[in-house]
Structure 1
Amino acid sequence: MFSIEHEFDSTVITLVDDGAAPLQEDVIINSFAECVTLEQFDPRTDRVQKITLSPEQVRDLAAALDLPEGVYQLRVDRDQD
């Protein structure tokens, strides 16, 4: 299950683990113009862990989900920018 909310400066996506137990903590994704952050509460440390990705890293991650094992470099056609 997930929710999507549009804030003033970002889009917030919350992923809720509704699979089989044991369940993981919610993942909160904040999509800003300059970066994307992923946050998840870590009950072992009692802190929220945060990862920041550049737009290029998000693009690469999306492509990697559909590719077999290997090393890749995406080429951006500058005429389309």
Structure 2
Amino acid sequence: MFSIEHEFDSTVVTLVDEGKSHLQEDITINLFEDCITLEQLDPRTETVQKITLSIAQAEDLAAALDLPEGVYRIAREET
């Protein structure tokens, strides 16, 4: 299950791990104009762990989901 909310400066996607087996904490993804952050509570330390991806890194990740094993470089237009 997931939810999508539009905030003033970002879009927030929350992923909820559903099922009977070992469940992970919810993941919150904040999509900003210049970066994407992923946040998840670490239940061992009770702190939120945060990862920040550039837009280029997020594009690479999206492309990697549909490619076989290997090393790739996405050609990007200069801005």
The count of residues paired between Structure 1 and Structure 2 equals 79
Which contiguous aligned blocks of 4+ residues in structure 1 show a shift greater than 3 angstroms?
A: none
Structure 2 residue 43 is matched with structure 1 residue 52: no
Task: Give the TM-score of the pair, scaled to structure 2.
Answer: 0.94
Could you tell me how far 1:77 is from its partner in structure 2? 3.9
* Equivalent in the alignment of 2:76: 76
**Percent of residue pairs identical:** 68
TM-score by length of 1: 0.92
Segments of structure 2 that go 5 or more residues without pairing to the other structure are none
Aligned-residue Cα RMSD (Å) equals 1.1
Between stretches 64-73 and 17-26, larger displacement belongs to: 17-26
Secondary structure, counterpart of 2:62 in structure 1: helix
1:63 matched residue in structure 2: 63
Q: Which runs of 5+ in 1 are unaligned?
A: none
Q: Return the offset for 1:76.
A: 1.8
